[in-house]
A and B are shown apart, each in its own frame.
Chain A
Amino acid sequence: MTTPSILSNAGPGGRVTEPSGPGSGGVRRTGRRPRPGRRRALAIFLTPSLLLFLLLVLAPIVVASYASLYKWNGFGLPENFIGLDNYTRAFADPVFRGDLWHGLVLIVLSLVVQLPVAMGLAMLLNQPLRGRAIYRVIFFAPYVLSEVTTAVLFNLVFSPNRGFGDAISRFLGADAGAVFADPDTVLYAVFLVVSWKYFGLYMILFLAARQNIPKELNEAAVTDGASAWQAFRLVTLPLLGPTIRISVFLSVIGTIQLFDMVWVLTGGGPIHASETMAVTMFQYGFRRFEVGYASAISIIMFLLSLVFALIYQRIVLRRDTEGALTVQGDQR
């Protein structure tokens, strides 16, 4: 999986010459080593995105890692070099340790509750069901809302004294209005809102993957005497593998960076009980003007995401990416 081979697959050169003869040596050579004209074309198409990438992704990372080594309030240039003190401070701070714990809880809950529910619904909506198109739209609808809209909506519904959801729950003998105000329940309440918004996305992903599985495979399994559960577990589930693995990936990365929803729903409170790393970073960067410390938190977030992404790609997604390349190879 080297970069040039990807370029040759995606680049305009490969496409144009493709019909001339699949697998011919000439195509490969032009693919690997573009002629000067092609090189110029590549430069033209790549420069803007590379430039933006440098400017908006790499440069901030470099600046933030530099700033994270200083005690800096954001004014003027950072001068007070303190080495890794910001990092040791973060890992000693109960609030930041709480953030890590909350992130872990949210990730585990997503994996054991949110994804299975989405999968179950996808399987259900794959059955011939009256009005299933309507159900699909309804379940997918929350994903279309922005995080802020969702959070405001839930704030209103579960408003302790006036909310509709609060009134219903009181009618049923519960007290849903207090869930966002109680440090013991707030994190789970936030998780429910996050799930409500995102399960539709995973449901659609699973549904699309399910529909890509040829009918014949399940039919053959059933003909061979497999029960519905066996057919699901031994045929459908393995074939959904790539989608499941990418969903887990998206879910984990999304949770590490969770901000908008928490910020609007609870602001991280009460008493930091629902705070995430991104919320803490914002508090320090924009409220307390401790930009150095906030940078350190952002770098920790970045490293966590990066390490997770690399390991996950290397170990879990390897089969999938290899598979994808093999398919492309076959087509050539």
Chain B
Amino acid sequence: MTAHLSRRSLLGLVGAGAGAYLLSGCSDDASDDPDAPQTINWWHIQNTEPMLPVWAAVAQEYQGAHSNVKIEIQPLENEAFKAKLTTATQAGSPPDLFQSWGGGVLKQQVDAGLVKDLTETVAPWKDTLLPLSLEPYTVDGKIYGVPFDIGMVGFWYNKDLFAKAQIAAPPATWAELLDVVRKLKAAGITPVALAGKDKWPAHFYWAYLSMRIGGLGALQQAAKDKNFETPDFVAAGERFKELIDLQPFQKGFLGAEYGSPDGQAATMGNGGAALELMGQWAPSVQASSSTSKKGLGDKLGFFPFPAVDGGKGSATEVFGGGNGFAVGKDAPPATMDFLKTLLSVDVQRRSTKTGAVLPTVKEATDAIADPNAKVVAETLAAATGFQLYLDQAYPPAVGQQVNDSVAALVAGSKSPAQILKDITQVAKTQ
């Protein structure tokens, strides 16, 4: 009796383990028949208002129209998603439909055979999308993911503080920007908000300067050659150092986070600094983390990253990224159809109306309400080139090293030439 009991509890344990493994994200629908009963496991990171209910409603409607399809949604917080996906992909069982930023991480997943080639799936409707938007999701000419949100990084500025420092127009060149910073300082205003603890916000400066000085091709070439020790990158570091040496950042910026109550976004939203270099989500995060919960409202303005005199890059080339979905290797056939629904004009309009998404479907851009978001969308639509965030575009180790090294540059512990040596060294190991 007792022995029997122990054997059973043992089996139970094994069963529980296997169950947990299965739950961790694979649905083994081997059938290719789109009409067979199937379950789509969907992991997204829109885990808060306003997008959370939109996705839930879209899934509900889809299930209503397709009685054989069940959609299991798992909304995850950004960092939690990355950790959980890492475990799932390392176990070889990615979810059926999941958040992707494209770039180097997606390429690793492609190399490991974990995601589906979507080139043929999207071929019939890919012309409805902004052509630039698919670039980060294209690996060796094939499409492995579809973006539903795209934006760009640029300068967000406080018009009142600019007026107070008697600055008439936003700067168009890097030299003018440095002048603006000097004027703001002279007027007793903190010029720039920066989240030093998070590292990625600082890498925007270095990447944009590299793009403006070396041209869009330089960033891609450097990754290919695994060599960042070129005069253009040194110049980019030195230009950035000019800004750093003006000590333009808010007090305690090295310990500041982006979204915390005293972080970069809050400092901007509370009127504590005049400028920040940030992506399309900046206004909404400024609002939600500011004391008034309203942010700067119409006092907030946007201007693209300025040109650098003598640089090879054009001021119409943009740096940014967005959110999209990739499809896991074992995904049931209905996943592709559901993906198409997510990228329909109707769903894109509904997503856009929340203010949290800048649509990739051209026809849905009419749903953009915020004037600043319109400026971003228009700049993006007129862009002559697109570069994904470096910490996404490059292999993860190189991307993280860029963030790390730029943080050292900002803190003054390494020189522009030293950081290039560090980045190159990591790139060579990849």
Q: Are A74 and B407 in contact (CB under 8 A)?
A: no
Min CB gap A195→B, angstroms: 19
Min CB gap B332→A, angstroms: 23
Min CB gap A26→B, angstroms: 25
With beta carbons under 8 angstroms apart, the residue of B2, B90, B111, B112 that contacts A291 is B90
Say if the beta carbon of B89 comes within 8 Å of chain A: yes
| A44 vs B1: C-alpha distance when bound (angstroms) | 11
| A78 vs B146: C-alpha distance when bound (angstroms) | 30
Say if the beta carbon of B254 comes within 8 Å of chain A: yes
B267 — which chain A residues lie within 8 A by C-beta? Answer: 161
Considering only residues 225-280 of chain B, those with a C-beta below 8 Å from chain A are 250-256, 260-262, 267, 272
Q: Are A266 and B397 in contact (CB under 8 A)?
A: no
Q: How does the 8 Å CB contact mask read for A8-50 relative to B, with 1 for contact and 0 for none?
A: 0000000000000000000000000000000011011001100
B17 — which chain A residues lie within 8 A by C-beta? Answer: 55
| A24 vs B303: C-alpha distance when bound (angstroms) | 90
Say if the beta carbon of B82 comes within 8 Å of chain A: yes
Say if the beta carbon of B48 comes within 8 Å of chain A: no
With beta carbons under 8 angstroms apart, the residue of A48, A162, A177, A180 that contacts B9 is A48
Cβ-closest chain A residue relative to B109 = A75
Min CB gap A166→B, angstroms: 8
Q: Are A180 and B255 in contact (CB under 8 A)?
A: yes
B252 — which chain A residues lie within 8 A by C-beta? Answer: 159-161, 177-178, 180-181
Q: Are B10 and A47 in contact (CB under 8 A)?
A: yes
With beta carbons under 8 angstroms apart, the residue of B111, B113, B262, B401 that contacts A160 is B262
Say if the beta carbon of A251 comes within 8 Å of chain B: no
Considering only residues 92-108 of chain B, those with a C-beta below 8 Å from chain A are 92, 105, 108
With beta carbons under 8 angstroms apart, the residue of B2, B111, B260, B413 that contacts A155 is B260
B13 — which chain A residues lie within 8 A by C-beta? Answer: 48, 51
| A76 vs B5: C-alpha distance when bound (angstroms) | 38
Considering only residues 373-395 of chain B, those with a C-beta below 8 Å from chain A are 395
Q: Are B407 and A177 in contact (CB under 8 A)?
A: no
Q: How does the 8 Å CB contact mask read for A254-281 relative to B, with 1 for contact and 0 for none?
A: 0000000000001101110000000000
Q: Are A287 and B255 in contact (CB under 8 A)?
A: no
Say if the beta carbon of B6 comes within 8 Å of chain A: yes
| A177 vs B395: C-alpha distance when bound (angstroms) | 36
Min CB gap B35→A, angstroms: 33
Q: Are B411 and A183 in contact (CB under 8 A)?
A: yes
Q: Are B196 and A159 in contact (CB under 8 A)?
A: no
Given contacts A43-B6, A48-B13, contact A290 B254 (CB under 8 A): no
Q: Are B396 and A40 in contact (CB under 8 A)?
A: no
With beta carbons under 8 angstroms apart, the residue of A55, A76, A160, A270 that contacts B251 is A160
| A128 vs B396: C-alpha distance when bound (angstroms) | 60
Q: Are B272 and A286 in contact (CB under 8 A)?
A: no
Min CB gap B206→A, angstroms: 15
Q: Are B197 and A266 in contact (CB under 8 A)?
A: yes
Q: Are B114 and A75 in contact (CB under 8 A)?
A: yes
Q: Are B396 and A287 in contact (CB under 8 A)?
A: yes
| A159 vs B264: C-alpha distance when bound (angstroms) | 12
What are 20 A-B contacts with C-beta separation under 8 Å? A44-B6, A51-B13, A74-B86, A75-B89, A75-B111, A159-B262, A160-B252, A160-B262, A161-B272, A163-B262, A178-B251, A181-B253, A181-B256, A267-B197, A267-B198, A269-B196, A270-B255, A286-B86, A288-B401, A290-B397
Size range of the chain A interface in the assembly:
35 or more
Say if the beta carbon of B83 comes within 8 Å of chain A: yes
With beta carbons under 8 angstroms apart, the residue of A43, A51, A76, A162 that contacts B262 is A162
Say if the beta carbon of A313 comes within 8 Å of chain B: no
| A182 vs B412: C-alpha distance when bound (angstroms) | 12
| A75 vs B106: C-alpha distance when bound (angstroms) | 12
Min CB gap A134→B, angstroms: 32
What residues of chain A have their CB less than 8 Å away from a CB belonging to chain B?
Answer: 40-41, 43-44, 47-48, 51, 55, 71, 73-76, 155-156, 159-163, 177-178, 180-183, 186, 266-267, 269-271, 283, 285-291
Considering only residues 113-139 of chain B, those with a C-beta below 8 Å from chain A are 113-114
Say if the beta carbon of B3 comes within 8 Å of chain A: yes
Q: Are B261 and A271 in contact (CB under 8 A)?
A: no
Say if the beta carbon of B360 comes within 8 Å of chain A: no
Q: Are B396 and A182 in contact (CB under 8 A)?
A: no
Say if the beta carbon of B348 comes within 8 Å of chain A: no
Cβ-closest chain A residue relative to B17 = A55
| A305 vs B251: C-alpha distance when bound (angstroms) | 39
Say if the beta carbon of B408 comes within 8 Å of chain A: yes
| A51 vs B7: C-alpha distance when bound (angstroms) | 12
Min CB gap B429→A, angstroms: 8
Cβ-closest chain A residue relative to B79 = A286
Cβ-closest chain B residue relative to A44 = B6
B10 — which chain A residues lie within 8 A by C-beta? Answer: 47, 51
Most buried by A among B252, B262, B408: B252
Cβ-closest chain B residue relative to A283 = B400
B108 — which chain A residues lie within 8 A by C-beta? Answer: 73, 75, 289
Min CB gap B414→A, angstroms: 8
Min CB gap B175→A, angstroms: 29
With beta carbons under 8 angstroms apart, the residue of A75, A177, A271 that contacts B408 is A271
The 4 closest A-B pairs by CB, nearest first: A160-B252, A181-B255, A75-B112, A270-B254
Q: Are B411 and A286 in contact (CB under 8 A)?
A: no
Cβ-closest chain A residue relative to B396 = A289
Q: Are B262 and A270 in contact (CB under 8 A)?
A: no
B413 — which chain A residues lie within 8 A by C-beta? Answer: 183, 271
| A219 vs B251: C-alpha distance when bound (angstroms) | 57
B109 — which chain A residues lie within 8 A by C-beta? Answer: 75
Most buried by A among B83, B197, B199, B255: B255
With beta carbons under 8 angstroms apart, the residue of A43, A74, A162, A183 that contacts B90 is A74
Min CB gap A233→B, angstroms: 43
Given contacts A161-B250, A181-B254, contact A156 B111 (CB under 8 A): no
Q: How does the 8 Å CB contact mask read for B184-218 relative to A, with 1 for contact and 0 for none?
A: 00000000000011110000000000000000000
With beta carbons under 8 angstroms apart, the residue of B86, B92, B251 that contacts A161 is B251
B262 — which chain A residues lie within 8 A by C-beta? Answer: 159-163
Min CB gap A93→B, angstroms: 11
Q: Are B197 and A270 in contact (CB under 8 A)?
A: yes
Q: Are A177 and B112 in contact (CB under 8 A)?
A: no
A186 — which chain B residues lie within 8 A by C-beta? Answer: 255
| A183 vs B83: C-alpha distance when bound (angstroms) | 28
| A285 vs B395: C-alpha distance when bound (angstroms) | 14
